[in-house]
Chains A and B, each alone.
Chain A
Amino acid sequence: GAGVSQSPSNKVTEKGKDVELRCDPISGHTALYWYRQRLGQGLEFLIYFQGNSAPDKSGLPSDRFSAERTGESVSTLTIQRTQQEDSAVYLCASSLWTEWGTQYFGPGTRLLVL
């Protein structure tokens, strides 16, 4: 079946612009996660959704970052006034709520802020 998809796959933007990243989880997966991975680094947790609610936003790096999810499906991660340090791969994952240890990742969005 279809896996997790993300768009765009690559995004180059200028410092100060806003970007919106999209994630389409596996159908029926109520849990959705966003991570950031800088070059050569590990995964950094940003936020997760249980249904359309985000109980834990503690990983968002600053108030320039926000995320939402609708219809227990698509999620968007928005970065306002991008900075060069925002350059990274943004990974989305989804899972069944009862099996959140088994997360299925999308291919990621590679963001480069010039």
Chain B
Amino acid sequence: RKEVEQDPGPFNVPEGATVAFNCTYSNSASQSFFWYRQDCRKEPKLLMSVYSSGNEDGRFTAQLNRASQYISLLIRDSKLSDSATYLCVVNFGNEKLTFGTGTRLTIIP
């Protein structure tokens, strides 16, 4: 089993819709969680950290469920510019990050 698992998609969503992705992780001792975004043939960039109480940044909401060992990302009022691959990232208590393989999202006009 992979340490960080994501549905690869693709998710094809009409502009303006709401879309959500989940990510599961294997280690209950995981300490910190992030969502990164990677555009086609570009480098990953941090989208947001995920806090235990959940957090929001504009149209983006991240949630953490430690009991079920998953994190989620919700995008409201999706824009064409949201088309990208979204990477779930977990720190397992050491000094490195473990990346999921990503969920590909395409927003359709």
Contact = CB atoms under 8 A, between A and B. Distances in A.
Contacts of A101: 32, 34, 49, 89, 91, 97
Contact of B87 (A43, A45, A108): A43
A42 B91 contact: no
Contacts, number: 49
B105 to A, nearest CB: 15
A1 to B, nearest CB: 16
B32 A107 contact: no
B42 A50 contact: no
Contacts of B94: 56
A45 B96 contact: yes
B95 A55 contact: yes
B95 A103 contact: no
Interface centre among B34, B49, B95, B101 (most CB of A within 10 A): B95
Nearest to A55: B95
A42 B34 contact: no
B95 A31 contact: yes
Contact of B43 (A42, A102, A107): A107
A91 B46 CA distance: 15
A100 B92 CA distance: 12
Interface in A43-88: 43, 45, 48, 50, 55-56
Interface of A: 31, 33, 35, 41-43, 45, 48, 50, 55-56, 91, 100-108
11 contacts: A41-B101, A42-B102, A43-B99, A48-B96, A101-B91, A102-B46, A103-B46, A104-B46, A107-B42, A107-B43, A108-B43
Interface of B: 32, 34, 42-46, 49, 87, 89, 91, 94-102
